[in-house]
């Protein structure tokens, strides 16, 4: 199964297109935020919203760095500044999931959905949460709700996430459908081809899997995962010489990966 992770559109939730702040930017912004808090009674509503967005970005950056206490403080402050912000509630939901408070996470996601008309990003993130909780049917329904929001620009990410979730649930036909749609909506997402090859291999569609992998290799340097999938396909197609060469590559260049993959297959 895929070693990657479902995509969480964290920075889209903040309502900003900027990259996450650097440590120096975070430090400077904290000083500004202290001043903002002291002047809060005189700040217009629009500035509260902007300040909340900044705190969401800072909270997510702290969470990424593993500073959970600081992250929680910033996210709670964002909610205080703008309680009606779906982005703030979505970010708080991700925080709760990160610290394994899943009931609180679900409650915040549902609050976020009630607070916004453009629900695509929230549905996408809520669905990835449900999938990580192994609530596959609920996750699939929620991904489909995300796709119904035609104003959400990241539909390719929704299709990819839905495909990864379906593959995790061993619904390979569904996974293939979603992943192919991800590529149709964004052909530049060529990393999806590796997962598509893996799914097609699991379905016994060996020639399709080989084709998908060949397309993937045109855009990517060799990796342990790609060589492993190629080896499995060569074995299944009885391409003995190719399989022997690929096995040698795995043993000589990625010995730990080969051992881990065999253990995973034995336990699945």
* pLDDT, position 38: 52
Cα–Cα distance measured from residue 42 to residue 47, given in angstroms and rounded to the nearest whole number: 10
Whether 200 is in a domain gets the answer: yes
| Between 48 and 78, residue with greater pLDDT | 78
Query: CB neighbours of 100 closer than 8 A, spacing ≥ 6?
Result: none
* Tens digits of residue pLDDT in 168-179: 999 999 999 999
* pLDDT, position 257: 83
In this structure, are residues 161 and 149 in contact, taking their beta carbons and an 8 Å threshold?
A: no
**Residue 241 structural domain:** 190-268
pTM: 0.81
* Tens digits of residue pLDDT in 102-113: 999 999 999 999
Whether 100 is in a domain gets the answer: no
Cα–Cα distance measured from residue 13 to residue 182, given in angstroms and rounded to the nearest whole number: 21
Closest CA to 119 of 143, 94, 136: 143
In this structure, are residues 120 and 152 in contact, taking their beta carbons and an 8 Å threshold?
A: yes
* pLDDT, position 18: 33
Whether 35 is in a domain gets the answer: no
Q: How many domains, in total, are found in the chain?
A: 1
Whether 203 is in a domain gets the answer: yes
Whether 26 is in a domain gets the answer: no
């Amino acid at each position: 199964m895929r070693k990657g992770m479902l995509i969480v559109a964290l920075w889209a939730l903040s309502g900003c297109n900027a990259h996450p702040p650097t440590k120096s930017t975070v430090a400077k912004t904290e000083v500004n935020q202290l001043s903002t808090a002291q002047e809060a009674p005189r700040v217009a509503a629009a500035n509260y919203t902007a300040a909340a967005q900044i705190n969401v970005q800072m909270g997510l950056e702290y969470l990424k760095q593993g500073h959970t206490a600081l992250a929680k403080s910033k996210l709670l402050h964002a909610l205080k500044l703008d309680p009606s912000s779906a982005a703030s509630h979505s970010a708080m939901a991700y925080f709760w999931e990160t610290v394994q408070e899943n009931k609180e996470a679900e409650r915040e996601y549902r609050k976020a959905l009630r607070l916004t008309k453009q629900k695509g990003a929230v549905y996408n993130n809520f669905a990835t949460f449900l999938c990580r909780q192994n609530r596959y049917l609920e996750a699939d329904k929620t991904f489909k709700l995300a796709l119904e929001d035609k104003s959400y620009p990241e539909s390719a990410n929704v299709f990819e996430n839905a495909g990864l979730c379906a593959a995790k649930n061993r619904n390979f036909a569904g996974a293939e459908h979603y992943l192919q749609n991800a590529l149709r909506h964004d052909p530049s997402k060529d990393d999806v081809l590796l997962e598509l090859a893996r799914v097609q291999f699991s379905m016994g569609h060996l020639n399709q899997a080989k084709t998908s992998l060949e397309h993937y290799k045109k855009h990517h340097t060799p990796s342990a995962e790609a060589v492993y999938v190629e080896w499995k396909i060569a074995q299944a197609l009885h391409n003995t010489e190719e399989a022997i060469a690929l096995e040698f590559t795995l043993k000589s260049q990625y010995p730990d990966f080969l051992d881990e993959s065999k253990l995973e297959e034995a336990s699945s």
